[in-house]
Structure 1
Amino acid sequence: MASFMAHLPYNVVGPLNFYHNNYKYHIANHRNSLLFPCIHHNLAHHMLRCKRQSCSTSTITCSAANRPSQSTEISSTAKIRSEVLSPFRSVRMFFYLAFIASASLGGLIATTQLIAALANPSRAAQVADILRGLGIDIGAASIFAFLYYRENKAKNVQMARLSREENLSNLKLRVDEKKIISVSSLRGVGRLVICAGPGPFILESFRLSEPFTQSLVDRGVLVVPFAADGNLPSFEFDESEEMKELTTKRKRLWQLTPVYVSEWSKWLDEQKKLAGVSPESPVYLSLRMDGRVRGSGVGYPPWNAFVAQLPPAKGMWSGLLDGMDGRVL
């Protein structure tokens, strides 16, 4: 509280009532016409939201709120993307349900007719036709139920994948000391390669990438090192004059660092769980230019494979070959 009060101006006249953490503080000599700035107090990802009320005495009410975490619910954006990727899926599912309802109704009618025919000896000749119609209705209902189940399962898988991609796009990266961006900001700009593992794994991945630095930079590759043990190693670059150009490109290749590590860890743990990979295993994930996951695996990133598979990010073929990033996983 002492550091908090130290930021208050001294040239104030008139009373001021201040509420903080359910305590009331009274400051004398406050001038009502003074424009009192909103006070920010950030501690352990808490944000203070201040409101000023116009009255005979100025009152500032502050409330604390935790930083919002990522929602586990599927957002409307993911649903819209799913509709765009599969525009006729909803139509197909509607007709499947309609056919199931029609076949079920036909089967119900055929069942009542069969009961009536069995109860009436004079209609015994109709039993065979009724049974044939009932079998057709049951078969049709079963087939369309299977098609609906398969379509709905594919929809759920796609929605889950799009939701994970959206959560990934919302994760934060630090470019330098003054700039923090989201992963989505790099869509169309770079192809991210996420290296997740202990410090020695990150350091060895850094060393193995050196022979392919020029080719990786030409293909727009940007590496995101995530130290699962919390010990991100410091990279050493050759600052000699003859290696100056290569060092600049290596710094660009490895310039990104994750922000809000807990959210990155949560997302990576979900990916490992879905892939059946041990939580302790070091992994890599390769993203396409559009930000979608194109490849992943356990162990060190295959830098040579990236160079062979990815098209250049600039030049006459840029844009035209963006679709050759690889299929989406």
Structure 2
Amino acid sequence: MFFYIAFVASGALGGFIATTQLIGALANSSRASEVPEILKGLGIDLAAVSLFAFLYFRENKAKNAQVARLSREESLSNLKLRVDEKKIIPVNSLRGIARLVICAGPASFVTESFKRSEPFTDSLLDRGVLVVPFVTDGNSPALEFEETEELATRRKRLWQLAPVYINEWSEWLDEQKKLAGVPSDSPVYLSLRLDGRVRGSGVGYPPWNALVAQLPQVKGMWTGLLDGFDGRV
């Protein structure tokens, strides 16, 4: 970015010199023949200033956006989750261990997300997915574990996490929606990579089938090697 500033300054100085020369040539009829050449040089200087100023502001905007994204992800990593009645952990303690999928919306939305995940329970667990149901309307979702004991255990494991300090979660989620231009009352999902970064998000139900199709399993010889290929769901 320093080079862009240097080029802008150089072009601006050249433009200033060309402008003074143009004024002098216009004021002296004997130098009228110099005007076209001076205008040509002035045009080049102005074009250079415009180009490098554009490149500078574009890169600066991208840098600011990256810093803001990292800040939001750091804030997310410090939010708290309840694992069970006795254990509360920050999100960042699951880095390298689990791929979190946050389901945020009214109780009915969370309940339906729960039902839709049922056929993919084993596949999601094999890929290290754990769901964080975040209810935004104050009601309790109907998460019914009426299957066989073995399946119920796996289902509870997939949906065992719960947000703690709801106000902090609400503030973070509201900021995310505002930046994305999503209405504050829209139900959304966010999926995280193993490294804790936000991989993807959207309005509506999590695409469980796409997650299963795109994410590598966290067990076996490919663990670690494919961690960077988390997809964009």
Unaligned runs of at least 5 residues, structure 2: none
Confirm or deny that 1:198 pairs with 2:106. yes
Q: Secondary structure of 1:322's partner?
A: coil
Residue 327 (structure 1) shift:
4.3
292, 312, 321: which one pairs with 2:217? 312
Letter in 1 for 2:33: A
Residue 85 of structure 2 is matched in structure 1 by 177
Confirm or deny that 1:325 pairs with 2:230. yes
12, 16, 19: which one pairs with 1:108? 16
Residue 167 of structure 1 is matched in structure 2 by 75
Q: Secondary structure of 1:224's partner?
A: strand
CA distance in structure 2 between the partners assigned to 1:143 and 1:277 by the alignment? 34
What whole-Å deviation, never above 9, does each CA across 1:271-327 have from its counterpart, x for those lacking one?
A: 222222221121111111111112222222111111111110111111111111124
Give the TM-score, by structure 2 length.
0.94
CA distance in structure 2 between the partners assigned to 1:188 and 1:289 by the alignment? 5
Higher-RCO chain (CA-CA 8 Å, sequence separation at least 6): 2
Structure 2 CA distance for partners of 1:327 and 1:205, relative to 1, 3 Å? closer
Q: How does 1:116-265 map to 2 (within 5 A)?
A: 116-233=24-141, 235-238=143-146, 243-265=148-170
Letter in 2 for 1:285: L
Larger Rg: 1
Residue 294 of structure 1 is matched in structure 2 by 199
Confirm or deny that 1:274 pairs with 2:179. yes
Unaligned runs of at least 5 residues, structure 1: 1-92
CA distance in structure 2 between the partners assigned to 1:298 and 1:146 by the alignment? 33
What is the alpha-carbon root mean square deviation over aligned residues? 1.6
Q: Secondary structure of 1:325's partner?
A: coil
Residue 234 (structure 1) shift:
5.6
Give the TM-score, by structure 1 length.
0.68
CA distance in structure 2 between the partners assigned to 1:293 and 1:235 by the alignment? 26
More helix by percentage: 2
**Does the CA contact (< 8 Å) of 1:197 and 1:282 recur in 2?**
yes
